[in-house]
């Protein structure tokens, strides 16, 4: 009987499975939906890019839709000469690097501490941190608090409010709970203290979830502009996103400024390259979005494993 079943099994393994018409149709529909979804996500970035390098007159009239027309790169040269743009770029890079770094270390350390039974009031403080996810005092109390702390017109006003983020702490805590407790106990037996256990044992293990937190923190810091709008009046502390916000709302004025900075000879040489509202908006948007897009691929390999392991307790 066993031999007969084995023969049937071997025969069945040699038979190629043939898909039915309904399964083929379902596969075609699935691929079509995925391709359509990918196109919807990708096309806005592609549209902005081709309009930033196309003939400005054709771009302003909405003629550039699929392929770039009259390709040139003078828009980027003109935008690079805008006063204050390079300073805003440095401020954005600074707040992204410093803010993301502090957020990662804080989330990792607090996530680790909330798993230790020796922490005083561990359950209370953990619930206190989580409760802040559901309750928000509003913009006016937040603004008054920031002003009273001296964080108005201060670079650290970009950093401190975003260092402790409950969602990131929950991810790190769940990830740490999935690691073997024996590693911590072995280190403590050898005389390691809390900081030594964290930096020498836990930190190397939780790199995937820290990379995930780094992506969240970096994108959040880079894209933020509302805190600049509310707290900052000094142009030297303007971020790139806030400059983009200003330029998108004042594109007419910016167009006049850039065109006035162009020499008479360059204007006469090519009227098609004179700046328009559309060219300014598209070019500045590319300058703002491109750096953070370039950063993401370096962390992508950690993202899936980090978010999955950090979301499910092992």
* pLDDT band, very low/low/confident/very high, at 300 (cuts 50, 70, 90): low
DSSP string, 206-274: THHHHHHHHHHHHHHHHH--HHHHHH---GGG--HHHHHHHHHHSHHHHHHHHHHHS-HHHHHH-GGGS
Mean pLDDT of 27-38: 91
Q: Are residues 78 and 89 located together in one domain of the fold?
A: no
Q: What number of H helices and E strands is found in the chain? A: 17, 0
Q: Are residues 230 and 256 located together in one domain of the fold?
A: no
The verdict on residue 104 lying in a domain is yes
pLDDT at 283: 82
Q: Are residues 169 and 274 located together in one domain of the fold?
A: no
The verdict on residue 195 lying in a domain is yes
Q: Which of 11-20, 50-59, 289-298 has the lowest mean pLDDT?
A: 11-20
Q: Are residues 76 and 101 located together in one domain of the fold?
A: no
Alpha helices in 114-191 (DSSP H): 122-131, 139-148, 166-177, 181-189
236-291 pLDDT, tens per residue? 888 888 887 777 666 555 555 555 555 444 444 444 456 677 777 788 788 778 87
Q: Across the chain, what does the average pLDDT equal?
A: 78
Q: Are residues 206 and 94 located together in one domain of the fold?
A: yes
Q: Are residues 114 and 231 located together in one domain of the fold?
A: yes
pLDDT at 271: 41
pLDDT at 252: 53
Q: Which of 84, 79, 82, 65 is nearest to 273 (CA)?
A: 79
Q: Are residues 138 and 278 located together in one domain of the fold?
A: no
The verdict on residue 6 lying in a domain is no
Give the range of the structural domain holding residue 54, as residue numbers without chain letter. 21-82+250-311
The verdict on residue 5 lying in a domain is no
pTM exceeding 0.85: no
93-133 pLDDT, tens per residue? 899 999 999 999 999 999 989 988 888 888 888 888 888 88
Q: Are residues 224 and 90 located together in one domain of the fold?
A: yes
* Range 255-261 contact pairs with CB under 8 angstroms and sequence separation of 24 or more: 255/280, 257/82, 258/78, 258/79, 258/81, 258/82, 261/78, 261/81
The verdict on residue 125 lying in a domain is yes
CATH number of the domain enclosing 165: 1.10.3720.10
- Residue 112 CB-density burial (10 A; 0-12 exposed, 13-18 middle, 19+ buried): buried
The verdict on residue 173 lying in a domain is yes
Looking at 207, 237, 267, the residue that finishes a domain is 237
Q: Are residues 94 and 216 located together in one domain of the fold?
A: yes
Looking at 182, 215, 237, the residue that finishes a domain is 237
The verdict on residue 47 lying in a domain is yes
225-234 pLDDT, tens per residue? 888 888 888 8
* pLDDT band, very low/low/confident/very high, at 36 (cuts 50, 70, 90): very high
Q: Are residues 192 and 307 located together in one domain of the fold?
A: no
Q: Are residues 54 and 178 located together in one domain of the fold?
A: no
> Of the spans 60-64, 214-218, 242-246, 302-306, which averages the highest pLDDT?
214-218
Q: Are residues 111 and 136 located together in one domain of the fold?
A: yes
The answer to whether 238 and 84 have CB atoms below 8 angstroms apart is yes
Specify the number of domains making up the chain: 2
38-49 pLDDT, tens per residue? 898 888 888 888
């Amino acid at each position: 009987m066993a031999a007969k079943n084995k023969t049937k099994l071997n025969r069945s393994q040699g038979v190629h499975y043939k898909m039915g018409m309904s399964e083929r149709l379902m596969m075609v529909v699935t691929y079509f939906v995925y391709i359509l979804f990918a196109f919807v996500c990708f096309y806005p970035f592609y549209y902005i890019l081709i309009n930033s390098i196309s003939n400005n007159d054709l771009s302003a009239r909405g003629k550039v839709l699929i392929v770039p027309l009259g390709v040139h790169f003078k828009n980027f040269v003109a935008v690079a000469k805008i006063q204050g743009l390079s300073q805003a770029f440095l401020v954005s890079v600074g707040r992204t690097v410093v803010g993301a770094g502090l957020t990662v270390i804080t989330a990792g350390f607090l996530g680790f501490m909330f798993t230790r039974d020796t922490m005083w009031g561990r359950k209370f403080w953990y619930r206190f941190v989580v409760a802040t996810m559901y309750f928000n005092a509003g913009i006016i109390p937040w603004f008054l608090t920031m002003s009273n702390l001296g964080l108005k017109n201060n670079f650290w006003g970009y950093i401190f409010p975003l260092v402790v983020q409950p969602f990131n702490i929950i991810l790190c805590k769940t990830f740490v709970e999935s690691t073997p407790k024996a590693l911590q106990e072995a280190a403590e037996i050898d005389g390691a203290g809390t900081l030594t256990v964290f930096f020498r044992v836990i930190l190397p293990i939780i790199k995937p979830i820290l990379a995930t937190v780094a992506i969240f923190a970096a994108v959040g810091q880079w894209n933020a502009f509302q805190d600049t709008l509310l707290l900052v009046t000094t142009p030297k502390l303007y971020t790139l996103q806030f400059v983009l916000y200003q330029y998108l709302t004042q594109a007419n004025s910016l167009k006049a400024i850039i065109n006035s900075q162009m020499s008479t000879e360059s204007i006469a040489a090519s009227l098609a390259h004179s700046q328009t509202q559309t060219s300014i908006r598209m070019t500045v948007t590319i300058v703002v979005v491109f750096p953070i897009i370039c950063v993401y691929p370096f962390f992508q390999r950690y993202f899936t494993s980090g978010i999955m392991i950090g979301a499910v307790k092992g």
